[in-house]
């Protein structure tokens, strides 16, 4: 009688070979898809110039790392300052591809003078796409040595206070909050942007300063942020618009950057930093 047992290993080998072949095909397809994705990501190249409000420093630095990982051929160059200063730079011809302002009024200055990329604006907004909101807090040094408890305390003669300059968005929000409170506050210094106010508080050069909630969050335990009701008045809450600028040298990369900011990933990064949703 012919023995049939040896057939079993043969069948098993054939099955194994088939599985390996299928696996190899699957891996090959997967590799092709990954390679295709990488090639698609690497299509963008060049230097992307992003002008952004100082309060966006930490968030945009994080997003820049994510963006450059997705698009290895692109170098993101970030320029942070007070929004009004950036608007002047852009309208004076500074090479900017994207502008993210800390309020709509400053974006309007750029839109009225330079305009946004027409193709991008047609799909989004001629005035820039809103992507975040921000509110003010009273920032004080750790343990609050001056004992500041509320907005009215900032009017005391023995309390040194730092404000943003009135022409920048945090200064405009501060003015609105002061008017809402009905108090008469004389700061010892007006700073060019919100990060400069924050630094004054960190260094203990002032007893308090008005900064955005996100700025207080960004320095962790180096300052304490105090909420106050006047910050919730409509005029004191800032909406943040972003847009691809007319004449952008890298319009495709600029659009990809704005897409990232507007994406779920961008929203999550903004939320973690303390920004609100428009």
- Would the pLDDT of 17 be above 60? no
Domain 46-133+239-272 superfamily per CATH: Periplasmic binding protein-like II (3.40.190.10)
Phi-psi map region of 220: left, alpha, beta (phi>0 left; psi -120 to 50 alpha): left
User: Per-residue pLDDT averaged across 14-36, rounded?
Assistant: 41
Q: How many CB atoms lie within 10 A of CB 11?
A: 9
pLDDT computed for residue 130 by the predictor: 98
- 191-242: pLDDT as tens digits: 999 999 999 999 999 999 999 999 999 998 899 999 999 999 999 999 999 9
Whole-number average pLDDT of the chain: 87
pLDDT computed for residue 109 by the predictor: 96
- Would the pLDDT of 40 be above 50? no
DSSP code per residue over 130-165: EEEEE-EEEEE-TT-TT---SGGGGGSTT--EEEE-
3-state helix, strand, coil in the chain (%, to 5): 50, 20, 30
- Is the CATH number of domain 136-236 3.40.190.10? yes
- Would the pLDDT of 30 be above 90? no
219 in Cβ contact with 202 (< 8 Å): yes
Query: Between residues 108 and 30, which one has the greater pLDDT?
Result: 108
165 in Cβ contact with 138 (< 8 Å): no
214 in Cβ contact with 271 (< 8 Å): no
- 260-278: pLDDT as tens digits: 999 999 999 999 999 999 9
Q: Which of 32-41, 100-109, 111-120 has the lowest mean pLDDT?
A: 32-41
Indicate the domain borders of the chain. Answer: 46-133+239-272, 136-236
pLDDT computed for residue 220 by the predictor: 81
Confidence class for position 16, pLDDT limits 50, 70, 90: very low
Same fold for the domain at 46-133+239-272 and the one at 136-236?
yes
User: Per-residue pLDDT averaged across 76-101, rounded?
Assistant: 97
């Amino acid at each position: 009688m012919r023995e049939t047992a040896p057939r079993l290993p043969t069948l098993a080998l054939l099955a194994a070979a088939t599985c390996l072949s299928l696996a190899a095909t699957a891996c090959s397809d997967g590799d092709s898809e990954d390679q295709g994705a990488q090639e698609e990501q690497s299509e963008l190249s060049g230097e992307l110039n992003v002008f952004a409000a100082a309060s966006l420093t930490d968030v945009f630095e994080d997003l820049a790392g994510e963006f450059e990982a997705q698009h290895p051929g692109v170098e993101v160059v970030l320029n942070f300052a007070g929004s009004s200063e950036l608007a002047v730079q852009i309208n004076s011809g500074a090479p900017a591809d994207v502008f993210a302002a800390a309020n709509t009024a400053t974006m309007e200055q750029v839109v009225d003078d330079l305009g946004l990329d027409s193709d991008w604006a047609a799909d989004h907004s001629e005035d820039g796409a809103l992507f975040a909101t921000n509110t003010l807090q009273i920032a004080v040094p750790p343990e609050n040595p001056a004992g500041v408890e509320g907005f009215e305390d900032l009017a005391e003669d023995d309390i040194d206070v730092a404000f943003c300059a009135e022409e920048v968005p945090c200064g405009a929000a501060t003015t609105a909050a002061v008017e809402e409170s009905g108090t008469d506050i004389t700061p010892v210094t007006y700073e060019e942007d919100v990060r400069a106010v924050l630094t004054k508080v960190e260094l203990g050069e002032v007893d308090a300063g008005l900064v955005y909630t996100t700025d207080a969050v960004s320095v962790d335990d180096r300052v304490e942020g105090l909420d106050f009701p006047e910050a919730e008045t409509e005029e004191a809450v800032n909406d943040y618009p972003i847009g691809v600028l007319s004449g952008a040298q890298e319009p495709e990369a600029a659009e990809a950057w704005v897409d990232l900011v507007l994406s779920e990933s961008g929203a999550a990064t903004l939320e973690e930093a303390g920004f609100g949703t428009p």
